[in-house]
Amino acid sequence: MTASSPKLFVKSYGCQMNVYDAERMADALAPEGYVAASSAEDADVIVLNTCHIREKAAEKVYSELGRIRKMKAQTGRSPIVAVAGCVAQAEGAEILKRSSVVDLVVGPQSYQRLPELLRGAKAGLKPVDTDFAVEDKFERLVAPAPKAIRGRGVTAFLTVQEGCDKFCTFCVVPYTRGAEASRPVSQIVAEAERLAGAGVREITLLGQNVDAYHGDGPDGRVWSLARLLYELAKIPGVARLRYTTSHPRDFDDDLIAAHRDLPALMPYLHLPVQSGSDRILAAMNRKHTAAEYLRLIERIRSAQPDIALSGDFIVGFPGETDADFEATLKIVRDAAYASAFTFKYSPRPGTPAADRDGQIDEALKSERLQRLQALIAEQQAAFARSLIGRRISVLLDRPGRDPGQIAGRSPYLQPVQLVAPGAAVGDLIDVVVTGVGTNSLFAAPAGDAREAIPELAEATG
């Protein structure tokens, strides 16, 4: 690094895939000499890596662009401003019309072309690239340097599948991320080995529909997500594997078996159902019923009883009646979630449901959201409490809140705070859960637990 190295600041909104993409953008620009800026004020290139999933998410980009405009006026600096991500893909050149501060618009399928696009932006050409590239983006994207990987910590995302062919009637993803495409197995294994070689202990495989993964295997056959997981579990150093997000329709028997067979595959599953009403599920084009979802959960739990379930729910989908909403509360009670994300339906331009009759009043959406959130919060707290006194593994991934504390994640993705002298970030240690905070667990190293909390001696013995 030299004093004159250009500085890059990427601000990501939306899902984990954007977090992964932000890293790949930094990797793509590293050979050009770019280093990370500590803030937008400090940057030569600012990338807003946007999300289009709900109106609020999409509008954030314009308020951020307003702030950047002010910052430019106040400081007299003139960084290059790029809009990337799903708003870039959905709105393209429209963004240049709405905001004169933008120098470049680049969709998620074109990040391999960032270096040349930035050169165009610097020349004042205001490039817009929202093509769904014919070339293999991942083949052309630059691999991260070991130093960059180490700087990102001991957990990492790895996109294995991108795009979606499901066309749920509320969702923009099939339009912003394009058709479902899977990366070849060898490419993924090489990336995972690279991550593990630089100290990564936990890898989360990403895909908009990750369980629809069907990548070319080294044996000339098409591999499923399950087969890929068995292969990745063999990589030395990889202690934990996760994957997200799955669709109930693509969840096959092999994946259920992987949860039974692979100790590295964490017992946590994000499996959105969206609604508990069959009528609404059909109107959403989810192509399964509430009973089918519950049966699937039952089969997964009989293979791996320890599984903690997570999900996504939309309230106020067009035509949702009180009875439909009650059915959603019922499926939440029946499935018993360890955590879940809840959203008010947001009509998105170009999606079929946006123009439907029966749009629900905002106040009613808010009321339903509150009731659903209260139920889920109850379930989440009950799940956390059920862990008190239990022995679990924690992957230490960052310094703790207070001096002497260290923090990590439980198998079920909960943050865990503990005091563990001698333990370091990257260690996987056995602990006993001693208490529950609002959003995290407290624990003691399993060896110390007897002294720390005598009443738990029985549980740990």
**Residues flagged as binding site for [4Fe-4S] cluster:** 15, 51, 86, 164, 168, 171
Query: In angstroms, what CA-CA distances link 7 with 32, 41, 115, 122, 238?
Result: 11, 10, 14, 14, 32
Q: Select the binding partner of residue 102 from ligand F3S, ligand SF4, ligand SAH, none (C-beta < 5 to 8 A, by kind).
A: none
| Contacted by 85, from ligand F3S, ligand SAH, ligand SF4, none: CB < 5 to 8 Å by type | ligand F3S
Count CA atoms closer than 13 A to 352's CA, side-chain side: 8
Listed in sequence order, the residues at least 6 apart from 384 whose beta carbon sits closer than 8 Å to its beta carbon are 414, 436, 441
Smallest gap, in angstroms, from Cβ of residue 170 to ligand SF4?
Answer: 7
Largest alpha-carbon pair distance within the chain? 70
Q: Which helix (H) or strand (E) holds 45?
A: strand 45-50
Tokens 């050149």 found at: 93
Distance of CA 378 to the CA centre of its chain: 24
Please select the residue that binds ligand F3S; options are 52, 113, 201, 227, rule is CB under 6 A: 52
Q: What is the number of the residue whose Cβ is closest to ligand F3S?
A: 14
247 belongs to the binding site for ligand SAH (CB under 6 A):
yes
| Closest approach of ligand F3S to the CB of residue 142, in Å | 22
Q: Is the bond into 289 cis (omega within 30 degrees of 0)? A: no
Other Cβ atoms within 10 Å of 105 Cβ, number: 25
User: 87 near 67, Cβ under 8 Å?
Assistant: no
Tell me the Ramachandran region of residue 107: left when phi exceeds 0, alpha when psi lies from -120 to 50, beta otherwise.
Answer: beta
Query: Closest residue (Cβ) to ligand SAH?
Result: 312
User: Residues forming the annotated binding site?
Assistant: 15, 51, 86, 164, 168, 171
- Given a contact cutoff of 8 angstroms between Cβ atoms, the answer to whether 84 and 109 are in contact is no
User: Would you say 244 or 379 has its CB closer to ligand F3S?
Assistant: 244
Interaction residues for ligand F3S, span 143-202 (CB under 6 A)? 172-173, 176-177
CB 123 within 8 A of CB 147: no
Residue 51 touches which of ligand F3S, ligand SF4, ligand SAH, none (Cβ within 5-8 Å per kind): ligand F3S
CA-CA-CA-CA torsion sign (241, 246, 248, 252): negative
| C-beta closer to ligand F3S: residue 231 or 312 | 312
Q: What is the number of H-type helices and E-type strands within the chain?
A: 17, 21
Between 158 and 406, name the residue whose CB sits nearer to ligand F3S: 158
Instruction: Residue 58: name its binding partner from ligand F3S, ligand SAH, ligand SF4, none (Cβ under 5 to 8 Å by kind).
Output: none
Binding-residue pattern over the window 272 to 311 for ligand SAH, x denoting contact by CB under 6 A: x-x-------------------------------------
Query: Rounded to the nearest whole angstrom, what is the least distance from the CB of residue 39 to ligand SAH in the complex?
Result: 29
The site for ligand SAH, by CB under 6 A, has a size of 17
Q: How many CA atoms lie within 13 A of 289 on its CB side?
A: 4
Tell me which of ligand SF4, ligand F3S, ligand SAH, none is bound by residue 328, counting a contact when its beta carbon lies within the kind-specific cut-off of 5 to 8 angstroms. none
**Member of 161, 209, 339, 417 binding ligand SAH (CB under 6 A):** 209
- Footprint on residues 45-84 left by ligand SAH (CB under 6 A): 53-54
Which one of 10, 15, 105, 449 is in contact with ligand F3S (CB under 6 A)? 15
Nearer to ligand F3S, 245 or 410 (CB): 245
One-letter amino acid at 276 equals G
- Select the binding partner of residue 174 from ligand SF4, ligand SAH, ligand F3S, none (C-beta < 5 to 8 A, by kind): ligand SF4
Which residues fall within 8 angstroms of residue 346, CB to CB, at 6 or more apart? 53, 54, 55, 56
* Contact by Cβ (8 Å): 446, 420: no
Member of 157, 170, 243, 268 binding ligand SAH (CB under 6 A): 170
Judge whether 405 and 417 are in contact, CB under 8 Å: yes
Helix axes 114-122 and 16-29, enclosed angle (nearest 10): 70
CB of 36 to ligand SF4, least distance (A): 30
Binding segment for ligand F3S (CB under 6 A), chosen from 14-22, 70-78, 341-349, 356-364, is: 14-22
Nearest-angstrom CA–CA distance, 413 and 411:
6
> 3-state DSSP call for residue 83?
strand
Shorter beta-carbon distance to ligand SF4: residue 174 or 400? 174
Among residues 54 and 201, whose Cβ is nearest to ligand F3S? 54
Of residues 79, 85, 107, 426, which one binds ligand F3S by CB under 6 A?
A: 85
Cβ 443 to ligand F3S shortest distance, Å? 32
Cis peptide before 245 (omega within 30 of 0): yes
**Pick from ligand F3S, ligand SAH, ligand SF4, none: which does 206 bind, CB < 5 to 8 A by kind?**
none
Q: Stretches 59-67, 166-174, 256-264, 439-447: which one binds ligand SAH (CB under 6 A)? A: 166-174
> Residue 43: is it exposed, middle or buried by C-beta count within 10 angstroms (0-12/13-18/19+)?
buried
User: 349: part of which helix (H) or strand (E)?
Assistant: none
Could you list the residues that contact ligand SF4 (CB under 6 A)? 164, 166-168, 171, 173-174, 208-209, 247
